[in-house]
Amino acid sequence: MPKISPLAVLALAAMAVSLRAETVVVSLASVGNRIHAQNPDLAAARMGIREAAGRLKQSGRLANPDLETAFERHSNSREGKVEIGFAQRFPVTGRLRLEKEVLLTELKSAEAEVREVERQLVGQARETMVKVLATRQRHELLRDQSGVTTRFAQFLADIAAKGEGSTLDAGQAKLEAASLTIEIHQLRASETTLVGELKPLLGMRPEEDLHVDGSLPEPSLPSLAADPSSRPDFQAATLDALAATQGLDLESLRRYDDVEGGLFAAAERTKDAPEDYKDEAIIGLRFKISLPFWNRNEGAIEEGHAKKARKEMEAIALARKIRLEVAAARAEMKEWDEMIREINTTLLPLAVEQSSLAETTYRNGQGEIQSVLRSHEKRFQLAAARLDALREFHLARVRYETALAKP
């Protein structure tokens, strides 16, 4: 049986690992579902809901009853007393019910906060994906530009070899085509960096590969809508204001301490001279009521008023901020849309026409190589500007949709 070299074993192991590696495919439409299912930060945030649910479960309960015992024995006689009792504290107000309502509101706020974490993560991932798609399309644009420049450089080299053209022009065109290769490598490195930023957001394992599917669609302006109620952070702010109002009511009820009631039983032996010792049994009730002379919870009530006002003001400020975010993102989209339309309808067709005319003129021996190269460069500059505008449009759209918490 032939021996297998260590290098062959390593090669087979590497091949097996590569076969086991999975490829995750995401698009702008599916990235939200992936984050909802796999993002580890979101999974950690969901534990806050369980914490709030635990606090809610613990709320609204009476304090545990107290078991009281006492024993007395006289040192110089057989007289003594044994007592046992139970005591329970009861609120004289609806404090327990209101405590449960406050914690129920806090549970709803915790759920809204988790949705807010998800909203921010999805927005961040979508922005990164837009940059990845834009970088990929820029790479394709440079590849097309490199192909055009290379073909023109080959044409110049062919006519120079026949003695019908300038060797210097051919070399300059070849250098121009070669310089585009460096830009292509830079774009590949940028795309790799962006993909590396995207993987943790998607909850991927190190051995998994990521493929961003799709391309940037043509721009289309959405309708102007700015309803803050759809934002989970605004929902959380509204719930926090409600919890602050309930908390103020709760602090007002805490001015009155709980009352304590108890039942006790006692057995007592006493000597009633000149008679013998006498045993007695006692059953009774006890009550304790705190008198609100020195502490009426004024400080906590004042704090509750301030907290209620602060939470309400924060909710109002957040609603205004959301409307401004939506309006700013849509205004930015409109500007980029107009720029793209102008490039598509006017500038780019003109640049293509000028580039073709300059090349034809040069082929006919009536122009200069610099004019051809400048016309090619200008044409692809406009194409790159259009792609940059498309990228900025979709980044603004992501901010717009994130501001409205759209799925």
What DSSP assignment string belongs to 63-123? PPPEEEEEEEE-TTSS-EEEEEEEEEEE-SSSHHHHHHHHHHHHHHHHHHHHHHHHHHHHH
Q: Domain count of the chain?
A: 1
- Residue 351 maps to a domain: yes
Residue 264: closest CA among 396, 83, 41: 83
Chain center to CA of 55: 25
Structure tokens at 202: 């998607």
Question: Tell me, what's the pLDDT at 12?
Answer: 53
Residue 346 lies in domain: 113-220+316-407
pLDDT at 286: 87
Quick one: pLDDT at residue 20?
47
Q: Given this model, what pLDDT does residue 16 score?
A: 47
- Show the tokens assigned to 339: 């720029």
Compute the distance between CA of residue 356 and CA of residue 376 in angstroms, rounded to an integer.
9
In a domain, 41, yes or no: no
Angle at 218 between CA 384 and CA 177, to 5 degrees: 25
**Cβ–Cβ under 8 Å, residues 382 and 347:** yes
Is 241 inside a domain boundary?
A: no
Tens of each residue's pLDDT in the chain, 407 residues: 445 555 454 555 545 444 345 788 999 889 999 999 999 999 999 999 999 999 999 988 888 899 989 888 877 777 778 889 999 998 888 889 999 999 999 999 999 999 999 999 999 999 999 999 999 999 888 888 777 777 766 766 776 676 656 677 667 667 776 777 888 888 889 999 999 999 999 999 888 899 999 899 999 988 777 788 889 999 999 999 999 999 999 999 888 888 988 998 888 877 766 667 777 888 988 888 888 888 888 999 999 999 999 999 999 999 999 999 999 999 999 999 999 999 999 988 888 888 778 777 767 766 666 677 777 778 888 888 999 999 999 999 999 999 998 87
Angle CA(332)–CA(334)–CA(336) in degrees, nearest 5? 70
| Residue 339 covered by a domain | yes
Indicate which CATH number applies to the domain containing 197.
1.20.1600.10
Which of 344, 374, 368 is closest to 149 using CA atoms?
Answer: 374
d(CA 192, CA 161): 41
Q: What are the structure tokens assigned to 250, written together?
A: 């709760």
Whole-angstrom distance between the N-terminal and C-terminal Cα of the chain? 61
**CA–CA dist 336, 344 (Å, integer):** 12
Helix (H) or strand (E) holding 239: helix 232-253
Domain-located, residue 368: yes
Within-domain flag for 122: yes
Residue 238 lies in a domain: no
* Position 186 in a domain: yes
